[in-house]
Amino acid sequence: MIAAAARRPPGEGKLLVLRADGQIDHARRGAWIEHLQHGDLVVANDAGTLPASLRGLHRRSGAAIEVRLAGHRRRDPFDVTELRALVFGDGDFRTPTEARVPPPPLMRGDRLELGPLLAVVLGTLGHPRLVALRFEGTATSIWEGIARHGRPVQYAHVPHPLEPWDVATPIAGLPVAFEAPSAGFILDWRTLGRLVERGIDFATITHAAGLSSTGDVDLDRRLPFDEAYRIPQRTAQLIARVRQNGGRIVAIGTTVVRALEHASTSAGGVSAGAGLATQRIGGHTRLWVVDALVSGTHEAGTSHFEMLRAFAEDATLYRAGAALDRYGYRTHEFGDSMLVERSRLGRSRGTAPRIAA
């Protein structure tokens, strides 16, 4: 399989549908829109993905490093001057993230030479491989350096290096995400046209998705980091109208759920404008805006999986997990998909289930 084949055409692959009544259906991935209804609204994250992997040198020790840009430090997702980043020692994506060698000890003031970019470590952030750093130069020169030297974050399960176009969704716009909002790979322009033909509206938000996993158990427990988002006026207006008319809000990806729920108002709508999503969504969370989620399949213990617990009972998710295993669903960024409707059942919960463990 070549890299391009890692990301399949949106029509290929499998879809597990978890209905509001707890029933499980299996379908072709391309059939997800058959499960929507006239009057629903599909909301996707149109963030583009930064080529967040930067190779270079830790100047004080001379050690080879890989820096993975992981999140913004400032509220403005367009500010690339100061960022959070993970630092790895030598090695590449063929080594699973959790097996990568640590970087040399990082200290405030250390200089990192990353191709044409020069960065200064501002300090570690509670973990030896998580740092705040500042790039030197003008915004123009920093964008040029990231654009020319940065590579997409790679995955050990994809045998060949991913190219920038492999991690761009068809609607990708502002480059503010650090990892692709991969649920958006289910979209293409033909599908968007079919939505409109069926009387289903389409809207976007822009959510600066951070890294989804760091390969470090302690760090992963802190995910997701705070993430900046922006909700256009038109999207807020459509949500209000669709809800008033009894339609459903269908989120493409967990980032959309996080942004819309963070911006939710007591009236069940969302506020337009910029925000910083700080909350975690899990079994305890009451959803105010989103009625269904289209997403990849996620393993128990990840923040993505925790979010599913806001949509469905643990017992239902346990059955879904068993079905994913039994039917050989692929569970990574370029894998199969799930459509999870918000449950209409009671909200009794047991212990955390495991999905495709």
234 near other proteins (CB under 8 A): yes
Report the residue number, 139 or 345, with the smaller CB distance to other proteins. 139
Q: Rule CB under 8 A: choose which of 4, 196, 345, 357 binds other proteins.
A: 196
Q: Rule CB under 8 A: choose which of 4, 59, 61, 78 binds other proteins.
A: 78
Q: Rule CB under 8 A: choose which of 4, 107, 174, 357 binds other proteins.
A: 174
The interface mask with other proteins, positions 11-50, x = CB under 8 A, is: -----------------------------------x-x-x
Q: Rule CB under 8 A: choose which of 154, 169, 302, 331 binds other proteins.
A: 169
Kindly list the distances between the CA atom of residue 87 and the CA atoms of 147, 158, 334, in Å, as whole numbers in the listed order. Answer: 19, 21, 24
| Among candidate residues 321, 330, 322, the one with its CA nearest the CA of residue 300 | 321
143 near other proteins (CB under 8 A): yes
146 near other proteins (CB under 8 A): yes
Q: Write out the DSSP string of 185-218.
A: GG--HHHHHHHHHTT-EEEEEEE----S--S-HH
Map tokens 């040399």 to a residue.
104
Residues 303-322 that bind other proteins (CB under 8 A): none
Helix (H, G, I), strand (E, B) or coil at 117: strand
Q: Rule CB under 8 A: choose which of 165, 265, 268, 327 binds other proteins.
A: 165
Instruction: With contacts defined by CB under 8 A, name the span among 123-131, 170-178, 244-252, 282-290 that binds other proteins.
Output: 170-178
333 near other proteins (CB under 8 A): no
Count of residues interacting with other proteins (CB under 8 A): 34
Kindly list the distances between the CA atom of residue 188 and the CA atoms of 32, 184, 213, 330, in Å, as whole numbers in the listed order. Answer: 13, 9, 26, 20
228 near other proteins (CB under 8 A): no
Q: Is 199 left (phi over 0), alpha (psi -120 to 50) or beta?
A: left
Least separation in angstroms between residue 196's CB and other proteins is: 7
Map tokens 């990568």 to a residue.
100
10 near other proteins (CB under 8 A): no
Least separation in angstroms between residue 146's CB and other proteins is: 7
Least separation in angstroms between residue 71's CB and other proteins is: 17
226 near other proteins (CB under 8 A): no
Q: Which two tokens stand for residue 114?
A: 């990353």
Q: Residue 156 in contact with residue 94, Cβ under 8 Å?
A: yes
Please compute, for residue 277, the number of CA atoms within 13 A of its CA located in the half-sphere on the CB side. 29
256 near other proteins (CB under 8 A): no
User: Residue 264 carries which DSSP code?
Assistant: B
Q: Which two tokens stand for residue 278?
A: 């700080």
| Among candidate residues 40, 23, 19, 28, the one with its CA nearest the CA of residue 337 | 28
- Which residues of this chain interact with other proteins, rule CB under 8 A? 46, 48, 50-51, 78, 80, 139-140, 143-144, 146-148, 163-165, 168-175, 189, 192-193, 196, 203-204, 206, 232-234
